[in-house]
Amino acid sequence: MNVAGEAFEGERIAKRIARAGHCSRRAAEALIREGRVAVDGRTVDGPALNVTDDQRVTIDGEPLAAAEPVRLFRLHKPTGVVTTARDPEGRRTIDDLLRHSGTVLPRLMPIGRLDVNSEGLLLLTNDGGLKRRLELPATGWLRRYRVRVHGTVDPRALTALERGIEIDGIRYGSIKARLDRQLASNAWLAVGLTEGKNREVRRVLEHLGLQVSRLIRTAYGPFQLGALEPRMVEEITGKVVREQLGGKLLAGLLEPESGRREKRVRKPE
């Protein structure tokens, strides 16, 4: 399908496929390259095509389902679970948790990550656009953690982290950290950051001579872990999403409230 001269209306074909819950945007682009996607009966020859609501999209000859409204979920990720769909080492993944949740869920993507040894709040969405927006450092959302460390904490070293720090050639931005409780051999810290590089909290604290033994994310922006139990997943209503995210982050994404109520899903055995 020749897309030269097409008007830039609607949305990219791969995004439409992803928002319908058929597969990820990257997988949709692969389907297009394989010649399996058609619009109004004409095979699409590349992903640089915008489609509108009145156009008929098919995959392998089957009509694409209507795009799903944007949905957002909270998951309490336990330790030992990998924040991926599949793991080559055979470890348990968040997809494993969701498959055994006891209810039908859309295809969900994590917003940000927690490493296998970390636990706490993980936001999930069915919309790749919202995922990318909420992961951007420019969003400025504070990620908050409770951290248990082995060692004696120097409060002055924690205060200095607000200026940022460079470790092994990697520059880490401002980190707000305070000592909550010092015990004989370990301590509890409260840590907040907006950037969230890979294993940032662990690496920075280890640089200060503190070994992290437990790391719990308690908040991601305005959303709190609260009393959500490990392995539980809970949908956040569209009303709450609109109130917390505002029009700028949700522009062009969130459908009108459909009357859906917040839903808790039982934790898998």
Amino acid letter, residue 163? R
pTM, rounded to two decimals: 0.77
82-96, 174-188, 223-237, 254-268: least confident range: 254-268
Q: What is the pLDDT of residue 104?
A: 79
**Catalytic pick from 54, 115, 154, 180?**
115
Q: Is 115 a catalytic residue?
A: yes
Q: Where are the domains of the chain?
A: 11-63, 72-224
What CATH superfamily classification does 72-224 receive? Pseudouridine synthase (3.30.2350.10)
Which CATH architecture is the domain 11-63 placed in? Roll (3.10)
pLDDT tens digits for range 72-97: 999 999 999 999 888 889 899 999 99
pLDDT tens digits for range 210-246: 999 999 999 999 999 999 999 999 999 888 888 888 7
Question: Over the chain, what is the mean pLDDT?
Answer: 86
Residue 173 DSSP symbol: -
Question: Percent of the chain beyond pLDDT 70?
Answer: 88
